[in-house]
A and B are shown apart, each in its own frame.
Chain A
Amino acid sequence: MTGPSDDLAQRFRAALPDTSDGDCPPADASWAAAAGELPFERVRALVDHAATCARCAEAWRILADVRRAAAADAAETVPGARPVPGPAPVRLPLRTRTLVPLALSAMAAVGLWVMLRPPPLHPLPVERGSGNTAAVRAESPEVQPARDAMLRWSEVPGATSYNVTVLTPDLIVLHQAVGISGRQLPLPESVRQRAAGGGLLWNVDAVMPDGRTVASPTFELRLR
C-alpha cells in the first residue's frame, strides 16, 4: 500500500499482539469476506479479530495480494474484464481531497473518464454479492424441521454441477458437497446434530462448463 496512511499502517502492524492462532477463523472465511459473500456483521467480526491478532492481519495482507493477482488472472482469461478490482484511474490520495485545485483536476479527470471509459465490463467469476447474486436463489424454506431439512436452490442455466457449503453463524465450515448434479441437498445428520435448535448459513456455487463459478448469496436456515 502506498499513500498518506502508510505511517498508520506501519504503526498498526507494530501494535498487533503476536497471539496464538488457536481461535483464528479459517482462512476460507476471510476469502469469503473479501469476495463479498458474507453479511456486514460477519465481515466486521472477522476484521475486528484481525485487528487484535498479528497472524490474522498478516493473512489478510496476503489475501489482498492474492485476490489482486487472481483478479488480474481472471481478466486475462475473460476478454474485456478489468485487470484489477482496484481504484479507478482518477482515484486520488485521500489527503489531497481537501485541496481545491487537485479536487478540480480530479473532477475534470472524472468527466473525461466517464466520457472515454470502455463499455460495461464482464463481472469477475466468483464474486458473491457483486453482480451474480440474483442468479442463484434459495428455494427451500428458511425454517425447516431438523429431521427432514433439505437445501434447494434455483437452476442456473448451463451449469454442469453445484457446490454447496454449510457454515455455522460464526463461519465454521460444517459441510462442503462438491459436484452435485441436482439442485437439492439433504442436510447431513452430523450437521443437523451440530445445528439442532439453531441457525446455519449456506451458499451454492454453480460450476459452468468453462470452469467459471456463479456464486449465490449466503442464505440462512433455521432448524426447529
Chain B
Amino acid sequence: MTPTRGGDSGSQDPDPDSIERIRQVLIRAVERHCPPALAAQREDLVQMALVRLLERPRGEGSNPRGASYLWRVAYTVVIDEIRRVRRQQRQAEQLPEGEQRTPGPEARSELLECLGALQDRRRTAVTLHLEGFRTAEVATALGWTEKQAENLVYRGLADLRACLEGGDT
C-alpha cells in the first residue's frame, strides 16, 4: 500500500553537501551489492531516486528535517527505484517469445535449510551477520546488548557450520 503522507520535507531545502554525500554512498552501495547489470546503471538509478526525493510534495509541516531523516528517506527511495527498474526489466524479459529466464539457484539449498533450523534468536542474528551487519548493529536492531549479539552470532555460526558438516544444530 502506498503510504498516505500528511506532509513532507518541510520548509528547508536539504543541504546540497548532505545530498551529495548521500548520493556518493548510495552509488557505492548499489555498485557493491547489486548485480552488474543493475550496478552499471547505478548513477542514473540513484539520481532518479534523489530527484524523486527532492520533488516530494511539501505538506502541512514547516519543520526542518534532520540529516538522519534524509538518509532514511534516501535509502527507501533508492530501494523503491531498484524495485521499479527490476519490474521493468522483468516485463521486458517476458516479451520475447518463449525466452527462458536464467535458472536461479538450486531449489533446495542446504545452507538455507540449516539456517532455517537454527533457534529463532540465533537465526535472526546470523542472518543479519551474513547480510553484512556488525555485532553492534545486530545488537541495535534486536534490542540486545553487544555481548548478547556477539554470543548469538558466534553460537549461531557454530550451529550452522555443524549442520552443514552433517551434525545437529
A118-B114 Cα distance, complex, nearest whole Å: 42
Q: Which residue of B lies closest to A13 (CB)?
A: B130
Asked if A50 contacts B127 (CB within 8 A), the reply is yes
Asked if B105 contacts A16 (CB within 8 A), the reply is yes
Q: Which residue of B lies closest to A15 (CB)?
A: B109
Asked if B76 contacts A207 (CB within 8 A), the reply is no
A157 contacts B by Cβ under 8 Å: no
Q: What 1/0 mask marks residues of chain A from 145 to 158 whose CB sits below 8 Å from any chain B CB?
A: 00000000000000
A78-B94 Cα distance, complex, nearest whole Å: 50
A8-B42 Cα distance, complex, nearest whole Å: 27
Main secondary structure of the interface of A (DSSP, over half): mixed
Q: What 1/0 mask marks residues of chain B from 61 to 78 whose CB sits below 8 Å from any chain A CB?
A: 111111111011011101
A73-B76 Cα distance, complex, nearest whole Å: 18
Asked if B75 contacts A160 (CB within 8 A), the reply is no
Asked if A211 contacts B65 (CB within 8 A), the reply is yes
Interface size on A, residues (CB 8 A): 86
Q: Of the candidates A61, A188, A207, which one forms a contact with B63 in the assembled complex, judged by CB atoms under 8 Å apart?
A: A207
Q: Which residue of B lies closest to A160 (CB)?
A: B63
- Residues 41 to 85 of chain B near chain A (Cβ within 8 Å): 59-69, 71-72, 74-76, 78-80, 82-83
Asked if A64 contacts B109 (CB within 8 A), the reply is no
A196 contacts B by Cβ under 8 Å: no
Asked if A175 contacts B131 (CB within 8 A), the reply is no
Known: A27-B80, A86-B134. A130 touches B104 (CB 8 A): no
Asked if A176 contacts B6 (CB within 8 A), the reply is yes
Q: Which residue of A lies closest to B11 (CB)?
A: A179
B contact residues around A97 at 8 Å (CB): 154
Asked if B10 contacts A178 (CB within 8 A), the reply is yes
Q: Beyond the given A17-B107, A209-B64, please list 14 additional residue pairs across the A-B interface where CB-CB is below 8 A.
A: A5-B157, A27-B80, A31-B76, A34-B137, A35-B141, A44-B120, A47-B127, A55-B83, A58-B82, A65-B29, A86-B137, A164-B6, A207-B66, A213-B69
